[in-house]
Amino acid sequence: MANSDVVTNKPERHPAVIREGLVQQIVKQFFSYLPIVLWATFTIFGMLWIVVTSFKTNRELYSSVWALPAVIQFQNYIKAWAVVKLGNYLINSIFVVFISVGVILIVSAPIAYVLTRIKFFGSELLSQFFTAGMGIPYQILLIPLFGMFAAWHWADSLPGLIVVYVSLSIPFTVYLLTGFFASLPVELEEAAALDGASPFQTFTTVMVPLASPGLLTVAIFNFIGLWNEYMLAMIFITTESKRTLSLGLYSLQGSMQYTGDWVGLFAGIVMVMIPTAVLFIFLSDKMISGITLGGVK
């Protein structure tokens, strides 16, 4: 009997069917990305318009809203920095936000590591306690907090505002960092223990460097949130010289409303936007990778 090769002929798709499927896929992707593209275009256009307008004079703004400035001048920034005292407010914001973020990381990282690695009586309840802390709106805590700080003479002070920021940011930070520490292999700690490292040395020299993407992610989140925070600063800070940049920008908006110096207001807005914009431009990929790493576990 002669051997015969069995040939299986797969049905070929008609070119018209292939084109129709390709067109449907393109249309689907187009409508999927359209809202994101529109939102990004609107946001970028608004930011660029504010930046361009901040270099205009009020006469140029009123004569033509969309025209480019005839001459690039920094008088609006000088006025916002010196006359409106945004420079002083900027220094206050840098002092409060950087110290707050540093203290938040120093306090939250050991807590998240202990809750992830060490099981003790009440550890699960303590983890749920921090998780529940994220669900409490800080607005309902304003009156008791202000009463406590007024009694302790911590109200209307930048250190007191730092304490408020740190205490209200710890639950969210601990919740995120527990995911990062849980994704790290336990074998690394066992190897460090065999080498004679203490638990504290293992945490500082092994686990913290490995968790640096997570630490950077929560630092960025806290920095952006505290840099743009307004309500707590308005409640706890009453002295003008102690205002943060968000309060200074609001007072600038109030003054410009009656003077009509809107280009000076736009210059102040640009000064507020610069730090967060720089963070997003240079660290957005690290923040996204850090979020993904913490969600793997």
Average pLDDT over the chain, rounded to whole? 83
**127 pLDDT above the threshold of 70:** yes
Query: Mapping DSSP to helix (H, G, I), strand (E, B) and coil, where does residue 85 land?
Result: coil
What's the pTM? 0.80
Measure the CA–CA gap between 91 and 27, rounded to whole angstroms: 50
**6 pLDDT above the threshold of 60:** no
Predicted confidence band at 41 (pLDDT cuts at 50, 70, 90)?
A: very high
User: What's the confidence (pLDDT) of residue 2?
Assistant: 47
**103 pLDDT above the threshold of 90:** yes
Measure the CA–CA gap between 248 and 91, rounded to whole angstroms: 11
User: What's the confidence (pLDDT) of residue 100?
Assistant: 96
* Encoded tokens for 31: 């409508």
Mean pLDDT, residues 62-79 taken together: 86
User: What are the residues whose beta carbons fall under 8 Å from the beta carbon of 100, sequence distance 6 or more?
Assistant: 162, 165, 166, 169, 222, 226
**242 pLDDT above the threshold of 60:** yes
Measure the CA–CA gap between 288 and 213, rounded to whole angstroms: 10
CA nearest to 244, candidates 276, 272, 273, 218: 272
The 10s digit of each residue's pLDDT in 171-193 is 999 988 988 888 888 888 888 88
Mean pLDDT, residues 41-61 taken together: 90
Is 29 buried (19+), middle (13-18) or exposed (0-12) by CB count in 10 A? exposed
Q: What is the 3-state secondary structure (H, E, C) of 24-78?
A: HHHHHHHHHHHHHHHHHHHHHHHHHHHHHHCCCCHHHHHHCCCCCCCCCCCHHHH
Q: Name the percent of the chain lying above pLDDT 90.
A: 23
The 10s digit of each residue's pLDDT in 148-161 is 988 888 888 999 99
User: What's the confidence (pLDDT) of residue 286?
Assistant: 66
User: What's the confidence (pLDDT) of residue 297?
Assistant: 45
